[in-house]
Amino acid sequence: MLCFLRGMAFVPFLLVTWSSAAFIISYVVAVLNGHVNPFLPYISDTGTTPPESGIFGFMINFSAFLGAATMYTRYKIVEKQNETWYFNTPVFNLVSLVLGLVGCIGMGIVANFQELAVPVVHDGGALLAFVCGVVYTLLQSIISYKSCPQWNSLTTCHVRMAISAVSCAAVVPMIACASLISITKLEWNPKEKDYVYHVVSAICEWTVAFGFIFYFLTFIQDFQSVTLKISTEINDD
């Protein structure tokens, strides 16, 4: 395990494990308390009512921080690789970072503004998180192909692009179906007119969310060769 997490590999590993735990723990607590239906609630539904709202808010906030740290480290890795062996326009890498950080801000908004309390703000944050996150993975997949085979294997590139493609395909019906739902609520009856939209949107939401998790899992190998160096300089006047 220590060999597996050498260098800075612990950062994406912690992001993946922490975010997975956030989704699973919030879901379990919400279901056990009878606050949501066990069958396909929205992710946000599992973090709306106390006590799971506190768990969800705390854990997703930290996930947003870990996501930003992972994206910035990835940005510096690509920047250094590009200096050694030019393969990509630096602006492309910067745009990817900015979009990723905006997505992390969206995650923070989702964590701190519950969907039933301030639905407009919550939904806006979710839109930022999912759309910017999907575009980030797509741009990073393109960068991976550009740096292949010098810095990435073709298999890694294919895996990243496959995850990006699935996420892109899922985020469109997720947004479309969610926009067709006339009311925001936690309990759904299969006989209700908007139930099908809810189910399709929820399936796509969970698909995109875990798509992000599996995508960041592919960063672990890249981060193994990176170390954190803190230098202190003392100026003698």
The pLDDT value recorded for residue 232 is: 58
Judge whether 235 lies within some domain: no
Judge whether 140 lies within some domain: yes
The pLDDT value recorded for residue 235 is: 58
Q: Are 216 and 16 in contact (CB under 8 A)?
A: yes
Per the structure, the count of domains in the chain is 1
Judge whether 188 lies within some domain: yes
Residue 79 has which token pair?
Answer: 């920047």
Judge whether 233 lies within some domain: no
Q: Answer yes or no: is pLDDT of 116 > 90.
A: no
Read off the DSSP letter of residue 114. Answer: -
The H helix count followed by the E strand count for the chain is 7, 0
The pLDDT value recorded for residue 188 is: 83
Q: Are 174 and 201 in contact (CB under 8 A)?
A: yes
Q: Are 207 and 170 in contact (CB under 8 A)?
A: yes
Judge whether 73 lies within some domain: yes
* CA–CA distance, 115 with 80 (Å, rounded to integer): 41
What is the H or E stretch that residue 189 is in?
none
Q: Are 100 and 73 in contact (CB under 8 A)?
A: no
Judge whether 3 lies within some domain: no
Judge whether 2 lies within some domain: no
Percent of the chain whose predicted confidence (pLDDT) is above 90: 70
What's the sign of the alpha-carbon dihedral 48, 50, 51, 54? positive
Range with lowest mean pLDDT among 86-90, 152-156, 177-181 = 86-90
Judge whether 169 lies within some domain: yes
The pLDDT value recorded for residue 90 is: 87
Q: Which range marks the domain in which residue 126 is found? A: 9-224
* CA–CA distance, 147 with 88 (Å, rounded to integer): 8
Strands (E), 125-228: none
The pLDDT value recorded for residue 199 is: 94
**Residue range 111-132: mean pLDDT, rounded:** 93
Residue 50 has which token pair?
Answer: 């106390």
